[in-house]
Structure 1
Amino acid sequence: MNIKLTREFVQKLPKTDLHVHLDGSVRINTIIDLAKKFNIQLPTMDPGELRKLIVCDEHTRSLEEYLRGFDIVNLVLQTKEGLYRAAYELAEDAANENVRYMEVRFSPILHTKKGLKMTEITQSVIDGLRQAEREFPIETGVIICGLRNMDPTTSIKLAELAVAFKNRGVVGFDLAGSEFNYPAKEHKEAFELSLKNNLNITIHAGEAYGPDSIHQAVHYCGAHRIGHGTRLVEDGDLLNYVNDHRIPLEICIKSNFHTKAVPNIQSHPIDFYIDYGLRVTINTDNRTISDTTVTDEYMLAINELHLDYPTIKNVILNGFKSAFLPYKERVRLINETLRELEELEKSELKTTIKMKENL
């Protein structure tokens, strides 16, 4: 299918974002507005200077360095209003580039510094997303994150929270944070609790640490999806297991470069994963921290890794197939997406034919 993959066309395509962090995706102006409203001291109130402190670029050297901006952002995410607004605006930004389904992840424990209860925090985020769903053509879910660097008992409390909010906005449980020296298996009890309650599991793994991290996520913690999985390519046997069991990979190209999970975009293994048949999805990770959008991520795959339209279409469908939604809802979204893609393809082909006729 001879379709030119322009940015304008890719932006029109219905898409998913299954791996996006709330606190990594707050608008710079919103951070400043909330700081002024609640009298919060930021390192600077100048938008340009604040951007330099929070937003990463090609000079970012590691995951630890990448994570530093979150401390600033989370200063303003300690109130119900701040959390509600961040969630609402994230869904609005996603809907504006035709993201039809998004799963927003965050760790409520990071938002308790001013006395909010974790139940209040979770509800505020869900309420912000629900309001956006009423106003924009997008559906959303929430993923609660445990944190590798915190005591495993904290992960258990967060898993209990996720279970309590299951079917009330929460669709899954995750383990995030620095991988090195913080193995997932230490948090096994939290995942046992989640699995006993039929909760979906995704785990950050294989980003800053090797395939053993992915092995633990799958075999110790029962992960249904893998966040990143960049280093899965280093273990062929495990790669085949993940492929055979159709465990989706939540690929975030730009942030993988920022955290130096890959030395450059061109060396990212996503094209190999796709060629080999793995269920690959494309996501943002952190819209603000990585200065990216879902469209940007697809354009990187197109321009730097030379993915063609049939491949992009398949990756888009993988996103909807991999959503933490009931089967019937996934089928509905996939059918809607297929119809929309067909209409866009026809429109684009007509435009191409007209342009050729006018030459």
Structure 2
Amino acid sequence: MRITHTLLKRLPKVELHCHLDGSLRVETVHDLAQKDNIEVPGSTIDDLRSALVIGEKRGSLEDYIKRFDITLSVMQTPENLERCAYELIEDVAQENVRYIEIRYSPILHTEKGMTMGESVEAVQRGLKSGEKEYGVQSGIIICGIRHISPEASLKLADIAVRYKNKGVVGFDLAGVEENFPAKEHREAFYLISNNNINATIHAGEAFGPSSIHQAVHYCGAHRIGHGTHLKEDKDLMNYVNDHRIPLEICLTSNWQTRSVRSLKFHPMKYYYDQGIRVTLNTDNRLISGTTLTDEFLLARKL
């Protein structure tokens, strides 16, 4: 059978690593900015798209993350958050995604007085409206942020506990890896594990396998986001394999953030051949300018 973009788009799919604040429609960012009188780059949608979408402009993870300042500026009210969540479900339904886990950090949406709890409820309303309309099931993953503080991560973990079985299905640690080790946030993950909540952690994306080691052994991660550098520690790789810890692979964003030299050097196929459980994901549909179908097509070429 000839594998085409059309065929892959029609196949039923699952996505486990998708950031809400990196997956808005550029038209929605523009619309919300105009509605709320928020200054964003450029005067046209094309200008804004150029500022938001990485495209061929490779850089560091820190450069990549800066673009979230733009999207976050229009995601500070319950109404806007609900719309963004609904539209994401609408978008993924167009490529036959049947289940998606959407992650975000409520603490980044409190600039205008919205509480973290109110933000979770707004996102959940949007997701449920999307499910009712398109049949796409979803779950929320709450993100702690490495470079904010362990205390903030603990508060976010408490939010995850409060909204367990009310939309929240897991807890994550995202943000800059270097100089912000996962082990500093282990109190948050103790709260998570003590309440029988699943954990996934960004690790081995922009730092070496020691970051993955901390995620697994200090924080009890059940999944690893990215894990690009896992191959550098064969003993740890065998442990991850033996314990059936899946990797959330994001091909396009790994190339854009220089986590890999080029896609032909991406270790996903190597991991797959070793028997490691790998999943394909977009990471940030808007920022990376990709879809899950695009990621499957890239994987086929590895």
TM-score normalized with structure 1 length? 0.83
Indicate the residue corresponding to 1:129 in structure 2.
127
Q: Distance in 1 between matches of 2:124 and 2:43?
A: 28
Indicate the residue corresponding to 2:94 in structure 1.
96
Indicate the residue corresponding to 1:226 in structure 2.
224
Secondary structure class of the residue paired with 1:288:
helix
- Aligned-partner residue type, residue 175 of structure 1: L
**Pairing partner for 1:179 from 177, 182, 197:** 177
Secondary structure class of the residue paired with 1:198:
coil
Alignment partner of 1:244 is 2:242:
yes
Indicate the residue corresponding to 1:67 in structure 2.
65
Indicate the residue corresponding to 2:208 in structure 1.
210
Indicate the residue corresponding to 1:12 in structure 2.
10
- Aligned-partner residue type, residue 153 of structure 2: S
- 5 Å matches for 1:303-314? 303=301, 305=302
**Pairing partner for 1:197 from 195, 198, 201:** 195
Any idea what the Cα deviations from partners look like across 1:174-226, whole Å, max 9, x if unmatched?
00001011000000000000000000000000000000000000000000000
**Displacement after TM superposition at 1:54 (Å):** 0.8
Q: Distance in 2 between matches of 1:218 and 1:276?
A: 19
Deviation beyond 4 Å, 4+ runs, structure 1: none
Indicate the residue corresponding to 2:103 in structure 1.
105
Q: Distance in 1 between matches of 2:148 and 2:35?
A: 31
Q: Distance in 1 between matches of 2:41 and 2:205?
A: 29
Q: Distance in 2 between matches of 1:192 and 1:100?
A: 31
Q: Distance in 2 between matches of 1:189 and 1:149?
A: 16
Indicate the residue corresponding to 1:318 in structure 2.
none
| CA RMSD, 1 decimal | 0.7
Indicate the residue corresponding to 1:276 in structure 2.
274
8 A contact 1:7–1:295 mirrored in 2: yes
TM-score normalized with structure 2 length? 0.99
Bigger Cα Rg: 1
8 A contact 1:32–1:45 mirrored in 2: no
Indicate the residue corresponding to 2:285 in structure 1.
287
- Aligned-partner residue type, residue 247 of structure 2: L
Secondary structure class of the residue paired with 1:141:
strand
May I ask how many residue pairs the two structures share in their alignment?
302
- 5 Å matches for 1:99-178? 99-178=97-176
- Aligned-partner residue type, residue 203 of structure 1: I
Mark the runs of 5 or more structure 2 residues left unpaired by the alignment: none
8 A contact 1:58–1:257 mirrored in 2: no
**Displacement after TM superposition at 1:58 (Å):** 2.7
Q: Distance in 2 between matches of 1:282 and 1:168?
A: 26
Indicate the residue corresponding to 1:339 in structure 2.
none
Mark the runs of 5 or more structure 1 residues left unpaired by the alignment: 306-359
Q: Distance in 1 between matches of 2:11 and 2:300?
A: 14
Indicate the residue corresponding to 1:347 in structure 2.
none
Q: Distance in 2 between matches of 1:155 and 1:180?
A: 17
Secondary structure class of the residue paired with 2:120:
helix
**Displacement after TM superposition at 1:302 (Å):** 1.2
**Displacement after TM superposition at 1:263 (Å):** 1.0
Secondary structure class of the residue paired with 2:285:
coil
Secondary structure class of the residue paired with 2:22:
coil
Any idea what the Cα deviations from partners look like across 1:295-329, whole Å, max 9, x if unmatched?
000011113x1xxxxxxxxxxxxxxxxxxxxxxxx
**Displacement after TM superposition at 1:59 (Å):** 2.5
Secondary structure class of the residue paired with 1:23:
helix
8 A contact 1:248–1:281 mirrored in 2: yes
Q: Distance in 2 between matches of 1:81 and 1:136?
A: 20
- Aligned-partner residue type, residue 300 of structure 2: I
- Aligned-partner residue type, residue 37 of structure 2: N
Percent of counterpart pairs with the same letter?
58
Any idea what the Cα deviations from partners look like across 1:56-112, whole Å, max 9, x if unmatched?
123221101111110011110001111001100111111110000000000001000
